[in-house]
Every structure is written in structure tokens, then in C-alpha cells.
Copies of this chain bind each other. A is one copy, B any other.
Amino acid sequence: MRKIAIIGVGQTPVEEQWEKSLREIAGEAVFSALLDAQRDEVDGIFIGNMLSGMLSHQENLGALVTDWVGLQGIEAVKVEAACGSGATALRMAMMAVSSGEMDSALAMGVEKMSEMRGGEITAALATAADADYEGAQGVSFVALNALIMKRYMHEYGWKHEHFAPFSINAHANAVHNPFARLQEAISEKDYTRARMISTPINLLDASPTGDGAAALLIVPEESLHITGSKGLRPIITIEGSASATDTLAVHDRHDPLWLSAANKSAIRAYSQAGVTPDDIDLFELHDAFSIMSALSLEACGFAPRGQGPRLGLDGEITITGRIPVATRGGLKARGHPVGATGVYQIAELVQQLRGEAGETQVENARIGMAQNIGGSGATIVTHILKAH
């Protein structure tokens, strides 16, 4: 297997892009990643997307995107794993390049969510859960997360305000990210007084959706040495990449407070990369809801069971903390264009590892991790990147 390097990243702002169509948003990210890598060709495109059929009446996204960006003819495909679609697309692109089937590939994610009204979006997002056994009960995606959070607070004795640091940190970092949807700081008072959505999840526990696309251009690392493309920027390689599944329905889990797929994929990624949680300089986690931050930190070995919120309360998740998270705003404040989110996470990691993260640069960041979650923990993908 050939080791993979990420040589170009591109992203659009996450916002309500009423004036742009799905293909235009996707194209912006593609061109931006190609420009960043100073390339104008690629062998294939792997597109993470969850909702285009339901929200934009458009499938066959591979042909849509290659056609629009002027790369007709090359192989292209849409990959879906709910909100984990983005990182899954990166895995497919990696396999294509590491197998030798392609010498370069774009892994991208795109989501156009502002086509429809809120109720339709909520219904579309519910397809990430078990339609027959969860959706049929009328439970929405936020309601499932609310059940998990409530149970967690009961089991471990945390109060709602103890989750505040996750949201406050994400918003503080997003202020400095021009691609973030919510570039505004929030206070603890804002957090505790926010409008309730599904008890105990309030508006500032939940990530905003949005329109957006991000793209990564990958090549075999060996090709960089051959072509002399190693420039002034550090080379960013993928050292670990793993995906795992859990039961689709939360009620089928032996322990609904343990993200077993996060644990499995993280352990495999650590092993591939030859690192432990102590070696990770920053962690772009999947903070779709603040409870997910806590559960991810625990499943990946950064905190003991039930102690995720402690990291926030002790200031360990900020840019200068032990394990910075959501350094560019996370899902919470950068925004969550669902099928694209996993690619935004990796693009942000690359920015950090290149030292291009400006005011939210994690000092001496050399090894970074990203974790993308599809459904209520049903499909989880973990990547570990390293700067050389």
C-alpha cells in the first residue's frame, strides 16, 4: 500500500448560499483544492454527500461534479454514510490511490441544505437513524441525542452547564475562521439561557447545518519526492485511517453511552500511526451536539468514562490546552453541512499541521486527529495526519 499525502485543500464558507446551486458550491471547493495544490488534473473524484436526492432532487453526483468542473470522463462517485460521508469519501479516495488504481484523487464533501424548509431538513436528517425502529416512533435526530445526553447526565451526575466549555471553545475559535458559519463568541450566560430544542439539548448545544463544500487532493507520498513537489510547506501524510460501524439504532446497544465504533476506529488508527492519545496535538471531533464531544473524547482515550466534560472545565480543550478540539470552530460554530463535514475537519487539520491556522494555530502541531460520525454513532471514521 502506498502512503498518502494531502497536497491541496479547499473549502467554501459554510452559510446559506441561496444564490448558488449544489454544483456551484461543489465546484468552488474542487477549484480551490486544485489551486492550493497547483494542479489542474486529477484521476478521480469521491464525493461525500448525504442529502442531495432528498433536498435537491439530484443524484448521480459524480457525473454532476466532473461535468461542471470540466473534468468529464474521469471516474467519480458519491459516497454516503450519513454525517460520516465526508471522511468516508476520503477513505474511498485513499484506497483508489493506495491500490495504484489512480495516481491522484479528490476526496470531497458537499451539502446544499437551504433548498428546503426546516421540517423537511429534519425529516431528511432522520434518515441517518433507523427508519423502521427509531424514525417510525417520530424521534428526530436531535431527540435521539437528547436521550443520550439525558442518560449521560443521570449516570455521571453532570449538570447541563458543565457542557458549556465545548460550545464556548468552538465559538471562540470560529471567530478567526473566515469559512465558519457562526463567527461570534458566546458566553456561559448565552449558553445556559439559549432556547431549548429537545431537553436537555438547547440551541447552543447543537451545531447549525448549512451549505458548503470542502475538498482534498491526495497523491502517493512517494510521488512528491520523485517530482520534487516538496516545497516550502510541510508534507502532510495520512498515517492512520479506519472506519467502524455500530448498531444503527441506539436502543440496540449494550451501552448507549459508549461509542464503540469511535473506539474501534481510533484504536486501529493509533496502531497504524504508531501513536497513543498522548501524541495527538489536536483533535477535530464531531461536535454535532455537545454530548458527542464528551463521548468522543472518552471513546478515543482522552478522558476516562464519564469524565469528558472535565476536560472542558479544566481548560484542556482550548488552543493552548492539552488536547485542543474544534480549533476552527468545529461543527458547532464552523457549521455542519452534513456530508461535507468530515472533509472540512481534515482540511482544518491540514491548515493546523501546515502552520496556516492563524490566530487559532496550535503551537508546534505535528500530529492531528479527526473523527467523523454518521448517525448516532453508527458509522465512525478516524484519521490521523502528520506533518513532515
Contacts and interface: CB of A to CB of B under 8 A. Distances in A.
Contacts of A264: 73
16 contacts: A1-B100, A52-B127, A57-B127, A57-B131, A58-B132, A60-B374, A63-B246, A64-B130, A67-B246, A75-B244, A75-B245, A77-B92, A79-B80, A92-B92, A92-B95, A99-B99
Given A53-B53, A77-B79, A63 B248 contact: yes
A60 B96 contact: no
Interface of A: 1, 21, 23, 50-54, 56-64, 66-67, 72-82, 88, 91-92, 94-96, 98-101, 123-124, 126-132, 135, 242-249, 252, 260-261, 264, 374-375, 378-379
A53 B101 CA distance: 30
Instruction: Report, nearest first, the 4 A-B pairs whose CB atoms are least far apart.
Output: A99-B99, A63-B378, A60-B82, A58-B131
Contacts of A378: 60, 63, 67
Contact of A59 (B50, B66, B88, B98): B50
Contact of A245 (B73, B98, B243): B73
Nearest to A243: B75
Contact of A78 (B23, B51, B80, B246): B80
A86 to B, nearest CB: 12
A248 B76 CA distance: 12
Nearest to A55: B53
Given A1-B99, A95-B92, A73 B248 contact: no
